[in-house]
Structure 1
């Protein structure tokens, strides 16, 4: 959220900017401190909070998400297609198994009838 001024095409730093840089350097020296944490700490200390809340996407971020949304839709349609294909295969296999069991039962009942026929 910090804006720097330019003079003759070069960045011009104010005394406040230099103070902020020194504070950032002083905090970043600590081994457990990351650059991101140091920047956040300095921003809070000097009230350098950006104008827009962090959860609001900028136009550039929104544009970069559009290809990802297209990819997600493509992936979802691929998954749906494969799921339907697998479901059709499972239904077909279940029908085949049911038909085989029915045929096996009919075969058993025929042999049972035949056995009773010869026992008489």
Structure 2
């Protein structure tokens, strides 16, 4: 029963993740290592996660940056990926890891690196 409780706490922690500056820097570094093909695959899915924010977690500067990138068709770039990962982790970290784990080897590796930072 204790394992179940610990498991639930872990799940709760992953629901919404607010990155520290150091963590954000490392996540951005990992995102910059992604190939363009990967960007085209996962950026739209991460953008969908950001759009489905029921709690208004992205009504801040980061949300405005993501909107600006989308408006200028720059979401599928490395900077877009950085901001989308940051924003999507704030909205629904579990869904972010599900997307990354199911999108291919490169993104699985990215998910593993991000988890190691959190």
Return the index of the structure with the highest Cα Rg: 1
TM-score between the two structures when normalised by the length of structure 1: 0.25
- TM-score scaled to structure 2, two decimals? 0.25
- Of Structure 1 and Structure 2, which has the larger fraction of its residues in strand? 1
Higher relative contact order (CA 8 A, sep 6+): 2
Greater helix content: 2
